[in-house]
Structure 1
Amino acid sequence: MPRNEDTPNRVGRGSGPSRAELEAARDKVVPDVLAEDLDVLFCGINPGLASGAAGHHFANPGTRFWPALHGSGFTPRRLRPDEEQQLLALGLGITNVVERTTAQANELSRAEAVEGGRSLRRKVGSFRPRWLAVLGVTAFRDAFGDRGAKVGPQAMDMGDTRVWLLPNPSGRNAHWQLGPLTEEFARLRRAAGLPDRRGGR
């Protein structure tokens, strides 16, 4: 399983939480950004240590989630992790396949991913987003047992919720640079029928 979205590449002065703070963040849970009937619920693999330390999703400066979210037109400007609650007013939310924080996603067992997939189905059934967007191909394959899953719309639905698979936005995912990643986010936005919220676009 690939590195999760927001594990820092380095730790030092001025680069965010200290090493001790990051270690203390292991196995924490970052609260979902969630409400009923969202347009799109974005689902990461699991929170990294930076997110555990900050208490916000996608908190590592190297993550490309926030740039791609704005660049694709989902948000009117690039939000900071501590502004994540503003997503709800835009019909967007964030959750994870597995709740507990780790330094790398490969610290999760396949059994955790499978159980995370079951929990995610229950959560989607309760909150009924129009779209679920899972961020990470390997995580999706492990959680739902679909070894052939590829980026884009999925044949599977969860009740009335349609499912879209997006690339992992980690800065370490060399297969997807920011431009193509942003375009995949934009494909989802257009499929969901949402406006381009960037000013002047």
Structure 2
Amino acid sequence: MAGRPTKAELEAARDRVIQDVLPPDGTRLRVLFCGINPGLYSGATGHHFARPGNRFWPALHRSGFTDRLLTPAEEDLLPSYGLGITNLVARTTARADELTPQELRDGGRRLTALVERHRPHYLAVAGVTAYRTAFGRPGTKIGPQPDGFGPARLWVLPNPSGLNAGWSLERMAEEFAQLRQAVEALAETAGNTGG
């Protein structure tokens, strides 16, 4: 698709599914980022976190996960950084609040299987409210979580949507950077213990 999607193209993208960005089986991920679900803009373009104003890609770069600012169309480069993307719910909607609690819970079960298969060092869920609903954890706060997620450690990030006015790009990038530092510390520890 060239240029920005039209209103008709956005509406036609409702309920589309965007494929996960994952490395080949057997290639371990440093971080699997998990969004809530794709928005209509992502559905129309076929790329995750694609809406202008979404802060995922700038936060990823500013935090040091990538050496340059990637565009959504370059998402296929993420596995070369040891990163991947999935969503709790695969279908596109105009707003995350269009999802039912059951869809979120079902998505949580699918996510559990995906993490077991790909075994990321960290699962990073971008959206604390969706995480609380999907996993029945109403008191969850942003940041590292005491419980793991199968074989992965768990970090809950703020929703990078431009609609999340409570988090500036700078604050969001700081949270992403704390995650990156934890990932690097884990790799260093594993290297020192031969693991």
Q: Deviations over 1:121-158 (max 9, x none)?
A: 01101111110000001000001100000011112212
Q: 1:112 aligns with which of 78, 103, 113?
A: 103
Alignment TM-score, normalising by the size of structure 1 = 0.88
Aligned partners of 1:23 and 1:179: how far apart in 2?
32
The alignment status of 1:30 with 2:12, answered yes or no, reads no
Residue 140 of structure 1 corresponds to 131
1:82-161 mapped onto 2 (5 Å cutoff):
82-161=73-152
- Aligned pairs for 1:39-78 (under 5 A) are 39-78=30-69
Taking the aligned partners of 2:131 and 2:171, their CA distance within structure 1 comes to 20
- My pick for the range that moved more, 76-85 or 150-159, is 150-159
Question: Structure 1 vs Structure 2: percent identity of aligned residues?
Answer: 60
Q: In 1, distance between residues paired with 2:35 and 2:4?
A: 21
Say which SS state the counterpart of residue 165 (structure 1) adopts: strand
Please, which runs of 5 or more residues in structure 1 have no aligned partner? 1-13, 195-201
> Equivalents in 1 of 2:53, 2:18: separation in Å?
18
Aligned residue for 2:176, secondary structure, equals helix
Moved over 6 A (4+): none
CA distance in 1, matches of 2:147, 2:114: 16
Aligned residues: 181
TM-score, reference length from structure 2: 0.90
Structure 1 vs Structure 2 CA RMSD: 1.2
Task: From the two aligned structures, give the one with the greater helix fraction.
Answer: 2
In structure 2, the gaps of 5 or more residues are 186-195
The residue number in structure 2 matching 1:182 is 173
Letter in 2 for 1:177: S
SS in 2 for 1:123: helix
